[in-house]
Structure 1
Amino acid sequence: MTRKIGWAALAALAVLGVTVEHGLTSPAAAKDRQAHVAGAERPRQARNRAAASQPHHQVQRGRASYYGPRFNGRRMANGARFNPNSNVAAHRSLPLGTRAQVTNLENGRTTEVRVEDRGPYVRGRVIDLTPRTAEELGMRHQGVVPVEVRPIEVPDRDQRVAQR
């Protein structure tokens, strides 16, 4: 059954990266699919080991997004409840409790966050921020922006904080 889709709706779906019937896809969805196929050549365990073996104190560049409203009040990896007005962040590999400086590479704005959650679980993204932090970085309207994440204090295994 074929439905007519208005051009505005189709454009909105393409911006969101949603695949539409009849083979129409956005450039972002096609790129994600190519990256997924390229990454499929290595077993998942090998990819995870490679990510885990990276030193925690290195500067990382990638894309940042921010938590949506459905996460308000949910428990984070550290056990605390998520507060959208805090300066917490989610990162895949930095130890919980790490303080990091995040810089929006599009406008140069910088803020400091504390890693208290795990994620983001979207390919190409290195950090998820709170709405407040996203506002400080000037990225609330874009949603996803290129950033640099620079660890400032990284707790060691004994929970002491190591200055970097």
Structure 2
Amino acid sequence: MLRGDTDLAVVLDWSNKRLPVPGGLAKAELLDDAPDIAMPAGHRLAGRAEVDLEDFADDDWVSWPEGEFCYDWLMFTLRSKGIEPRIAHLAGEHHTQLALIAAGMGVCVAPRLGRGPVPDGVRLVPVRQKMRRHVHAVWRTDADRRPSIRAAVTALRDAGRELDAP
């Protein structure tokens, strides 16, 4: 991005593991995404109104692939809660992760944005700790005056406000 090969990027980070933005880049917050824990409908915690991450210390996890920011975030977050995660399956797409959960293969963190329809046999339970995935627009600061950048950021912010509205 700093070389000018990308005009604008939509990026994410998590409330407890922020993504550093190098000098020369500007950032605008677009929306916050609250994740749930996805578990098989027959899971011992499926009937709860809220759960804690520590409740899943003995569960198998479905995660994003190793080396991805969200994988690193999951490892960091669970370990900070005293949990050494047992990663049973890796899948980069939310619908694949949820299909594995429906098949009884573990539990996963399921952000609300972009997860699509939830398969039968999956129960989503909010996390008591207020985890948030933050979605941002990032662009080069030398492009601040470009009308196309301003218009794109405004449109993304408007779309984020619509998604955050009750």
Q: TM-score, normalised by structure 1?
A: 0.27
Q: TM-score, normalised by structure 2?
A: 0.27
Report 1 or 2 for greater relative contact order, CA contacts < 8 Å, sequence distance ≥ 6. 2
